[in-house]
Amino acid sequence: MVCKVLLVGNGAREHSIAKKIVDNNGILYSYMSKENPGIARISKKFVLGNLNNFDKLKKFKKVDYAIIGPENPLANGIVNYLEDELKIPVCGPRKEVAKIETSKIFTRLLLDAYDISGNVPYVIGKTTKDLETAVSEFGMDFVIKPDGLSGGKGVKVSGDHFKKLTEAQIYVQELLKKDGEFLIEEKKKGKEFSLQVFTDGKNIIPMPLVRDYKRAYENEQGPNTGSMGSYSLPSHKLPFLNKAEYEKALNIMQCTIEALNHQNGIRYKGILYGQFMKTEDGIFLIEYNVRFGDPEAMNVLKLLDSDFNEVTQQTIDGNLRSVKFKDLATVCTYLVPKGYPTKPEKDKTITIEPSLTSDLYFASVYSNKKQIRTTTSRAIALVEEGESLEIARDKVYQNIDKIRGELFFRKDIGSLL
Ligand code: AMP
Ligand code: GLY
């Protein structure tokens, strides 16, 4: 669909959204905090600025719609600003309903208030005594979370981030000082999966399920990262989930959207991403995100067979109908700087052979005298599709050697199921 689209954000997720907008005849206008060379190259116009400085968005008055990549501007009300001040329709939730990601306490309370299944047992902490309550209920199997966004760094899991109660006490005190409250959840054990949906606030259309690999090294070893890669299957499901479990997760999302509308009188529109865990006791909601996942966006957008600009505008107009995805597998693998995430080496040159055939998305890199250089974050994502997972995986790993630099990647994306 020919239209002018404003995209906010500058990671690999946004690069893949940008490509889809342009492939579907959109004219791209971008607002980035740092120049992503891939997005810049295909934008008609781009502006650099702090993504939470909405004043700069005035430079994009004449677009048909906007889409927001990362959660931070959504938390700060970018949709309210674009809709109310600039009269730009947005595929994304207003601040009041974006709370489903930006306040973990709000989400747990909402699920309880509307009797939605999949809620993890939790304790809302207002004093250090509440930690004792949580320990009496969950033993040492608990997770401490700040209420708000913490860039993936605030969630501390027992056995993983802390071993002793004294360490938990110190963290809880820190959170009380900073926020005045915290959340403790029972630690669940199982396999996580990502379910993203398009929604216009009433209709929801699921995207293929994706499994994301968060640990830095093979076999899910090493520190947590922003993610090292992801896969999806031609069935759009995952090998460890049965039909009833999948439907349960989807139903939890449907009920949540209805509850949000009911409680706030505001239609949730855009993308909702549920991160779930399958455990021996069933399906649990770990958290919601009010945007595409990174890297999950790259898997599902590779498969999207409908016009992206039409689908996004249907979520805005409230007439979301059908969305088609190809019945193929996908694999997305991240190349990251040596030492990432603990001691990443930066400012190293990356070279890309012209014979590379995979889709390539820049995450956090910069250009210097026509060279691409690394930062301290993830550098490049490669994405492939195939009739089977093996084919998609082989294609990615055949192409990965065509990227040279001080980088590493996980070799088991799509083989460790
Ligand atoms: P979140 O930011 O809430 O998604 O949490 C980050 C990560 O912490 C998740 O991807 C899980 O691996 C882990 N986690 C969060 N909550 C729980 C929980 N209740 N039980 C087990 N692991 C959890
Ligand atoms: N895949 C994790 C995230 O997007 O938050």
pLDDT per residue as tens digits for the range 320-357: 999 999 999 999 999 999 999 999 999 999 999 999 99
Q: Has residue 319 got a pLDDT over 90? A: yes
Whether residue 115 lies inside any domain: the answer is: no
Whether residue 413 lies inside any domain: the answer is: no
Q: Which ligand 1 atom is the nearest neighbour of the CA of 188?
A: 20
Q: Report, as an integer, the average pLDDT of 301-313.
A: 98
Reduced to 3 states (helix: H, G, I; strand: E, B; else coil), residue 166 is helix
Residue 203 is predicted with a pLDDT of 96
CA angle 417, 209, 336 (to 5 degrees): 65
Q: 131 lies in which domain range?
A: 121-186
Q: Which ligand 1 atom is the nearest neighbour of the CA of 214?
A: 10
Choose one of 273, 277, 301, 332 to mutate for the ligand 2 pocket test, by most ligand atoms within 8 angstroms of C-beta: 273
Q: Tell me the pLDDT tens digit for each residue of 360-402.
A: 999 999 998 889 999 999 999 999 999 999 999 999 999 999 9
User: CATH no. for residue 270?
Assistant: 3.30.470.20
User: CATH no. for residue 162?
Assistant: 3.30.1490.20
Measured CA to CA, the distance from residue 283 to residue 191 in angstroms comes to: 10
Q: What percent of the chain has pLDDT over 70?
A: 100
**Which amino acid, 217?**
Y
Last residue of a domain, one of 49, 79, 94: 94
CA angle 239, 202, 212 (to 5 degrees): 30
Residue 3 is predicted with a pLDDT of 97
Q: Which ligand 1 atom is the nearest neighbour of the CA of 187?
A: 20
Last residue of a domain, one of 186, 201, 234: 186
> Is the domain of 125 the same as that of 39?
no
Q: Has residue 104 got a pLDDT over 80? A: yes
| Cβ 212 under 6 angstroms from ligand 2 | yes
> Is the domain of 195 the same as that of 179?
no
> Is the domain of 173 the same as that of 233?
no
Closest-CA residue to 137 (of 183, 184, 203, 97):
184
> Is the domain of 278 the same as that of 203?
yes
Q: Report, as an integer, the average pLDDT of 252-262.
A: 97
Residue nearest to atom 18 of ligand 1 (CA): 187
| Centroid of ligand 2 to alpha carbon of 355 (angstroms) | 30
Q: Tell me the pLDDT tens digit for each residue of 112-166.
A: 999 999 999 999 999 999 999 999 999 999 999 999 898 777 899 998 888 899 9
Please list the residues that pair with 8 across neighbouring strands.
31, 68
Residue nearest to atom 11 of ligand 1 (CA): 286
Burial of 131 (0-12, 13-18, 19+ CB in 10 A): buried
Whether residue 402 lies inside any domain: the answer is: yes
> Is the domain of 38 the same as that of 131?
no
Q: Which residues approach ligand 1 with their CB closer than 6 A?
A: 120, 143, 155, 157, 185, 187-188, 192, 275, 286-287
Q: Has residue 408 got a pLDDT over 80? A: yes
Whether residue 369 lies inside any domain: the answer is: yes
Q: Which ligand is nearest to the CA of 189?
A: 1
> Is the domain of 199 the same as that of 182?
no
> Is the domain of 261 the same as that of 296?
yes
Q: Has residue 417 got a pLDDT over 80? A: no
Whether residue 149 lies inside any domain: the answer is: yes
Mean pLDDT taken over the chain: 96
Q: Tell me the pLDDT tens digit for each residue of 36-56.
A: 999 999 999 999 999 999 999
Q: pLDDT-derived band of residue 61, with 50, 70 and 90 as boundaries?
A: confident
Q: Which ligand is nearest to the CA of 378?
A: 2
> Is the domain of 220 the same as that of 141?
no
- Tell me the CB-side half-sphere exposure of residue 389, using CA atoms within 13 A: 17
The set of residues, in sequence order, having a beta carbon less than 8 Å from that of 41 and lying 6+ positions away, is none
| Cβ 185 under 6 angstroms from ligand 2 | no
> Is the domain of 262 the same as that of 218?
yes
> Is the domain of 208 the same as that of 288?
yes
What is the DSSP code (8-state) at residue 158? B
**Which amino acid, 81?**
Y
| Centroid of ligand 2 to alpha carbon of 294 (angstroms) | 5
User: CATH no. for residue 17?
Assistant: 3.40.50.20
Choose one of 186, 276, 286, 290 to mutate for the ligand 1 pocket test, by most ligand atoms within 8 angstroms of C-beta: 286
Q: Tell me the pLDDT tens digit for each residue of 188-215.
A: 999 999 999 999 999 999 999 999 999 9
Whether residue 40 lies inside any domain: the answer is: yes
Measured CA to CA, the distance from residue 102 to residue 150 in angstroms comes to: 9
Indicate the number of domains in the chain: 4
> Is the domain of 170 the same as that of 211?
no
> Is the domain of 210 the same as that of 182?
no
